[in-house]
Amino acid sequence: MTQTAQTHPKLYESQKLARWYFLVAITLFGAQLIFGLIAAYQQINPDFLFELAPFMTNRTLHVNAMVIWLLVGMMGGVYWFLPRETGREVVGITAAKIIWWVIVAGVTVVILVYLFVQIGPAEMTTIWFIMEGREYIEAPRWADIAIVLWVAIFLFNVIATVLASRRITGILAVLIFDLVALGALYTAGMHFTVNITMDQFLWWWVIHLWVEATWEVLVGVLMAWALMYLLGSSRKLLETWLFIEVALVFGTGIIGLGHHYFWIGTPEYWLGLGGFFSALEPLPLVAMVVHAVYDAGGHRLGSVNKPAMFWVIAQAFGNFIGAGVWGFMQTLPQINMYSHGTQLAAAHGHLAFFGAYVSTVMVLVYIAAQNLRKTIRIPLDSKLWSWAAGMLILGIIGIGGAFTLSGFTQTLIERAEGGSTWAAYIAAYTHPWYANTLGWRYFFGWVMMLGFVLLVWDLVTIGRRAPASQTVAQPATVSPGGSHD
Ligand code: HEM
Ligand code: HEM
Ligand SMILES: [Fe+2]
């Protein structure tokens, strides 16, 4: 039995900051699960925490924690890889550190206000200091401004570092373009108007265009870096794939936005536009699966980091199934007319966010974990990571499955058969196909929680325990600044 251990390369300040990003991301992941479990339990027993922490507060915390931790995790990935890509320290790292602690303090205050103040009068002060009330981005306006500032400094870090290194790669060009869009779109969710159609119209610019366009492209960038690190894949090949994927993501996702404009009071042409373009949205996701399998297969899955490699493959399939298949299922207006707003949407939301983004952050966190020990084990491996991954994935499949069944029951019994009457609503909610799923999603929530505990345990101890037992055919460079082309 042979083993390889290389000495630890010195970390850049930017990579040290990335560690704090990952720590906070994982902590908020835990918070997301706790609030999800409470919300799921309240659907079974509505008396639980009655008048103390209502369902809507827990639900808000559940989805807000998710948006923030996934964004933090992906930004951490950029801070991790940027000095490797440019071969130098990130420019403006002090500003990055300061705004980071402002954000951490801000998130803590927002969580406390959500929990203890909860709601306010219908006045502007509520929007500024308590919450804005737009699902997923409820944060009060002062926090919105802090978030925009944060993304602006992040963008400055990236652009200034690229300029200082005097070399731009295809991956960096895509990253800069994407970050400008990501930051600018967030401001669309800060617009207040009493016209609900207008409000929803702009709010979707953030939600849909983030998760189905700018976040997907960010994932493309991060995965390209991850594959170079994990497999030593060729830059030329990766950049070619990236360009194809970006073109497909933007080509289908931008007008695909129309699948949220079917029933909110927008003109009728959105039925055709939204239906057609969003039906094409799974295409880039197929390209991503082919890409990941092609790259991993070319190296016979041999990698410097087994857990990260596992999550790369899980991401490709999870993204395709959760976003592509579960999204496609309800995207044609003829179907969406019946399924809109049922728990099929929640099934898709869970499977897509987990498949596309939780998996991505897992890849990044395991890559960072490998570089935090004194020696770098090649390959990084443990039994625990596979148990953690298995439980997390089993948990999300169970939760997604339970929501699918209840959503199907609503679509069929409440909408299609009963014609959305009050009696039909009651018939669906009391039907065993619906009622039983409440227990199932709670049960699988605990499975997921167990997976989370194992994940934390693994991250804290991996690389410290028994060294890995074999070398890899393709050892990747682990020195900072190493480029693989
Ligand atoms: C990673 C990518 C994606 C994520 C994270 C995601 C997430 C979500 C979430 C959370 C919702 C519920 C929004 C709400 O609260 O109202 C939603 C709705 C929806 N998504 Fe996605 N989605 C993704 C990709 C896709 C794709 C590729 C398609 C189509 C092929 C799609 C089709 C839809 C449709 C039609 C709805 C509206 C469902 C309804 O009418 O109730 N999504 N998505
Ligand atoms: C312990 C595990 C979890 C439990 C028990 C849980 C439970 C729930 C519950 C009860 C809701 C409210 C559904 C409703 O409004 O009727 C919800 C919403 C949501 N959860 Fe989770 N969840 C868990 C984990 C996750 C994870 C890991 C993600 C994604 C990474 C996620 C993403 C979402 C999203 C996007 C929504 C809003 C869905 C929509 O409006 O369509 N949840 N969850
Ligand atoms: Fe969408």
pLDDT tens column, 199-234: 999 999 999 999 999 999 999 999 999 999 998 889
pLDDT single digits (tens) 282-304: 999 999 999 888 888 777 667 88
CA distance 233 to 85: 14
399 token code pair = 């939760």
CA of residue 64 to ligand 1 center, whole Å: 16
Return the pLDDT at 296: 82
Which ligand 2 atom is at minimum distance from the Cα of 34? 1
CA of residue 207 to ligand 1 center, whole Å: 9
Return the pLDDT at 4: 53
CA of residue 345 to ligand 1 center, whole Å: 7
Q: Residues lining ligand 1, CB < 6 A?
A: 135, 211-212, 259, 278, 281-282, 323-324, 327-328, 330-331, 336, 340-341, 345, 348-349, 352-353, 356
User: Which protein residue has the closest C-alpha to ligand 2 atom 2?
Assistant: 445
Give the dihedral of Cα atoms 222, 224, 227, 229; nearest 10 deg.
-70
Give me the phi and psi of 5, to 5 degrees please. -140, 125
Which ligand 1 atom is at minimum distance from the Cα of 215? 1
Return the pLDDT at 8: 60
Which ligand 2 atom is at minimum distance from the Cα of 70? 30
Domain 1-167 has CATH 1.20.210.10: yes
Ligand 2 pocket test target in 44, 45, 62 with most atoms within 8 Å of CB: 62
Contact 400, 318 (CB under 8 A): no
Give me the phi and psi of 4, to 5 degrees please. -120, 135
Determine if residue 3 is left, alpha or beta; phi over 0 gives left, psi from -120 to 50 gives alpha, anything else beta: beta
Contacts of 346 (CB under 8 A, 6+ apart): 403, 407
User: Which protein residue has the closest C-alpha to ligand 1 atom 20?
Assistant: 327
Return the pLDDT at 300: 65
Ligand 2 pocket test target in 204, 399, 444 with most atoms within 8 Å of CB: 399
Which ligand 1 atom is at minimum distance from the Cα of 357? 1
Please spell the DSSP secondary structure of 112-128, one letter per residue: HHHHHT----SSHHHHH
CA of residue 407 to ligand 1 center, whole Å: 14
CA of residue 350 to ligand 1 center, whole Å: 10
Spell out, as residue ranges, where the chain has pLDDT lower than 50. 1-3, 468-485
CA of residue 89 to ligand 1 center, whole Å: 38
Amino acid at 34: I
Q: Residues lining ligand 2, CB < 6 A?
A: 33, 36-37, 39-40, 43, 59, 62-63, 66, 345-346, 349-350, 353-354, 358, 399, 441, 445, 448-449
Query: pLDDT exceeding 90 applies to what percent of the chain?
Result: 84
CA of residue 260 to ligand 3 center, whole Å: 6
Which ligand 2 atom is at minimum distance from the Cα of 345? 41
Please spell the DSSP secondary structure of 311-363, one letter per residue: HHHHHHHHIIIIIIIHHHTTTSHHHHHHHTTSHHHHHHHHHHIIIIIIHHHHH
Which ligand 2 atom is at minimum distance from the Cα of 446? 1
